[in-house]
Structure 1
Amino acid sequence: MRVSFLDTPVDVLTLQETIEVAVDAMRSRRRVRHVAMNVAKLVKMRSDSVLRGDVLKSDIIGIDGAGIVLGARLQGIPVPGRVAGIDLMEALLQECAQKGFKPYFLGAKEDVIQKAVAVARRRFPGLNFAGMRNGYFNTDQEAEIVAQINASGADCLFIGMPTPRKERFLAAYAESLHPPFLMGVGGSLDVLAGQVSRAPEAMQRFGLEWLHRLLQEPRRMAWRYVSTNTVFAVLLFGAILGGYSKRAT
């Protein structure tokens, strides 16, 4: 179910529902492009019209962020929970191992992507990769990389690059790429490779993964959280007040 939250469309789906859509896309060869929505991206989209356009072209705009879940619920939108990109990617790797689909990893550093592939093969016996390519390339190489991905016979493509680069790449080449399921996974390849740790399950349940990341990378993450979360809080507060005002009249 697609709804509007702070003037941004998001899809209210569970993890299992999203998995089913992705598997159906791979079986039917019907292209589905997935993008994960969090607070930082929602805020950035308000000042970056190119990013907004790229995101809005996606077939699934998944809710990946405790702030989005909380904010949506405060506005009366029945969100069952977040669908974390890393959880979705790992679940789909398991599906690939069981059903014979072949994933392709694009992004991260060469040593990181090599580790991520090795870990995935170890964790999901029977997993057969179509291929991999690090994320260090320029725009002149993109057409060649798309051709390599297509030639690999991949059923799904996971792009481990930062925003807005992964959204721009997917928007530019979605119609040219042959893998039916396309997904930007940000730093999930680093997590899979063990370069970055996930928050303990208790912190995940209470929506505190952001705090875990802040403690891991205080210099890089502090300003991002302060700036984007402040803007998000103002937007949400204004929307809630506006809702109360409408109901009172």
Structure 2
Amino acid sequence: MAKERVEFFGSFIDPMTMDETIEKIKDIIKIKKITQHVVVNVAKLVMMQSDIELRDAVNSCGIINADGAGIVFGSKLLGIKIPERVAGIDLMERLMKTAAEAGYKIYFFGAEENIVKEVIRQVSFKYSRLKIAGYRNGYFKESDEQKIVEDIKKSGADILFVGIPSPKKEKFLNRNLNKMNVPFVMGVGGSFDVIAGKTKRAPLWMQKIGLEWFYRFLQEPGRMWKRYLVTNTKYLFMLTKKLGESILFSK
């Protein structure tokens, strides 16, 4: 039985566990229903407050998971039930294992050329039965877009992983989702960099206590400081304000 979506600061979220998400994706691929998946983390949620196009693109997706301890923790503070964090990279790994077992074909789109090639090398070694439909780096001009869309369509992929930053990724998919004819399409953020070994993922203990973002900041402080300082501060303000309103109106 499908769980009813919840709304959190203007973003819809499907309150599903990892296992429930996997089962739903398998059903989508089986019936070939074109579906876009997206994860919502603190940075994206904050961007959605001012970027209406991004908000519409996210909320139009068929599956929206909560990726980030901040989202799960904040939702609980406001009495919204989200069972667990479904991290994009963990879901991607689970799907590659599932694809290798079920015979699904995957297309990898995003990151630098050397990175996406290393991703293909790594996943082909780890999942020897995995069918690679194709791959392409994530750097392109507007004039290249339709050729990319056509190449993905011709590949016959069952799953498309897109490693392009937000909000460019969401807007690209919102424009082209139905043109590519891929049953399941998922934005995977910086997961290609992790798989290729360019960046490391936080130790499990840091993941469990919600400090994965801090570990990423330590690896790329010059690029990530503004994102985390600004978005985390704005998010704390949003939560504090909403909590204050809840307390005020409950009296």
2:86 paired with 1:80? no
2:51 paired with 1:48? yes
Match of 1:157 among 145, 160, 165: 160
Preserved contact between residue 11 and residue 61 of structure 1 (Cα < 8 Å): yes
Q: Quick one: distance in 2 between partners of 1:43 and 1:97?
A: 36
Q: CA RMSD in A?
A: 1.0
2:140 paired with 1:113? no
Q: Quick one: distance in 2 between partners of 1:230 and 1:223?
A: 10
Q: Quick one: distance in 1 between partners of 2:244 and 2:9?
A: 13
Aligned residues: 248
Q: Give the aligned partner of residue 10 of structure 2.
A: 7
Q: Give the aligned partner of residue 36 of structure 2.
A: 33
SS of the residue 2:132 aligns to: coil
Unaligned runs of 5+ in 1: none
Q: Give the aligned partner of residue 193 of structure 2.
A: 190
Match of 1:203 among 200, 203, 206: 206
Structure 1: which amino acid aligns with 2:198? Q
Preserved contact between residue 6 and residue 239 of structure 1 (Cα < 8 Å): no
Structure 2: which amino acid aligns with 1:230? T
Match of 1:140 among 143, 149, 158: 143
**Range moving further from structure 2, 37-46 or 2-11:** 2-11
Structure 1: which amino acid aligns with 2:97? Q
Identity %: 46
Q: Give the aligned partner of residue 91 of structure 1.
A: 94
Q: Offset of 1:75 from its aligned partner?
A: 0.9
Runs ≥4 residues deviating over 2 A: none
Preserved contact between residue 22 and residue 181 of structure 1 (Cα < 8 Å): yes
Q: Offset of 1:72 from its aligned partner?
A: 0.3
Q: Give the aligned partner of residue 228 of structure 2.
A: 225
Q: Offset of 1:10 from its aligned partner?
A: 1.3
Preserved contact between residue 100 and residue 128 of structure 1 (Cα < 8 Å): yes
Structure 2: which amino acid aligns with 1:91? R
2:178 paired with 1:175? yes
* CA displacement, residues 158-196 of structure 1 (integer Å, 9 cap, x when unaligned): 000001111011100011111100111111111111111
Q: Quick one: distance in 1 between partners of 2:98 and 2:213?
A: 28
2:130 paired with 1:131? no
Q: Quick one: distance in 1 between partners of 2:67 and 2:59?
A: 16
Q: Give the structure-2-normalised TM-score.
A: 0.96
Q: Give the aligned partner of residue 72 of structure 2.
A: 69
SS of the residue 1:174 aligns to: helix
Unaligned runs of 5+ in 2: none
Q: Quick one: distance in 1 between partners of 2:135 and 2:15?
A: 31
2:103 paired with 1:100? yes
SS of the residue 1:242 aligns to: helix
Q: Give the structure-1-normalised TM-score.
A: 0.97
Q: Quick one: distance in 2 between partners of 1:220 and 1:141?
A: 27
Q: Give the aligned partner of residue 247 of structure 1.
A: 250
* CA displacement, residues 106-159 of structure 1 (integer Å, 9 cap, x when unaligned): 011111001101111111120010000111111111111111111111001000
Q: Quick one: distance in 1 between partners of 2:187 and 2:11?
A: 18
**Range moving further from structure 2, 43-52 or 96-105:** 43-52
